């Protein structure tokens, strides 16, 4: 059922061509420890379907990702953590196979650090944007 390609790092990990420290595996997902962790237990949960961006992954694969991520968070006993997923190089995606980071946040200094800089929009701008999106929903 897996849709994998030959030259993808994560597809090779799923196939066992490149070693990983596996945490769990289902028919649709594979989870392993990140080799460049931001904190102890930093894991990646990936679909067994090669796609570069989330909107390209079939629903059944996406539906398996969050339950597996939740199981890992519970198994690690996490209380504070981030789930991060990037789409595209300018959005900080480095491996072009969809992947979800589970990053434990045990304290202020360890784990993911973020700088959030909101833009300014009026209620009218927000409503106009929401209407344009609603028209495109399928």
Q: Tell me which of 55, 99, 101, 115 is the catalytic residue.
A: 99
Annotation says 99 is catalytic: yes
Q: In whole angstroms, give the CA distance from residue 82 to residue 15.
A: 27
Number of helices (H), then strands (E), belonging to the chain: the values are 3, 5
Q: What is the pLDDT of residue 1?
A: 53
Q: Which of 92, 64, 76 is nearest to 40 (CA)?
A: 76
Q: How far, in Å, CA of 7 to CA of 42, rounded?
A: 24
Looking at residue 14, its pLDDT comes to 97
pLDDT tens for each residue of 61-88: 999 999 999 999 999 999 999 999 999 9
49 in Cβ contact with 2 (< 8 Å): yes
Q: CA 72, CA 32: separation in Å to the nearest integer?
A: 10
| Per-residue model confidence as pLDDT tens digits over 84-134 | 999 999 999 999 999 999 999 999 999 999 888 999 999 999 999 999 999
List the alpha helices (DSSP H) in the chain. 9-15, 59-75, 123-136
Residues 88, 53 contacting (CB under 8 angstroms): yes
- Give the per-residue pLDDT at 71: 98
pLDDT confidence of residue 35:
96
What domains are defined for the chain?
9-112 (3.30.428.10)
Average pLDDT (31-52) is 97
What's the rounded Cα separation, in Å, for the pair 85 and 93? 8
SS (H, E, C) 5-59: CCCCHHHHHHHCCCCCCEEEECCCEEEEECCCCCCCCCEEEEECECCCCHHHCCH
């Amino acid at each position: 059922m897996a849709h994998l390609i030959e030259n993808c790092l994560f597809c090779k990990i799923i196939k066992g061509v490149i070693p990983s420290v596996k945490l769990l595996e289902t028919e649709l997902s594979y989870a392993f420890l990140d080799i460049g962790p931001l904190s102890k237990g930093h894991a990646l949960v990936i679909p067994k379907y090669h796609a570069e961006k989330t909107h390209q992954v079939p629903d059944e694969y996406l539906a398996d990702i969050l339950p597996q991520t939740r199981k890992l968070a519970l198994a690690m006993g996490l209380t504070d953590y981030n789930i991060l997923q990037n789409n595209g190089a300018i959005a900080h995606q480095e491996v072009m196979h969809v992947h979800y980071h589970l990053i434990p946040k045990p304290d202020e200094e360890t784990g993911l650090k973020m700088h959030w800089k909101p833009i300014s929009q009026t209620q009218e701008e927000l409503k106009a944007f929401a209407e344009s999106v609603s028209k495109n929903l399928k």
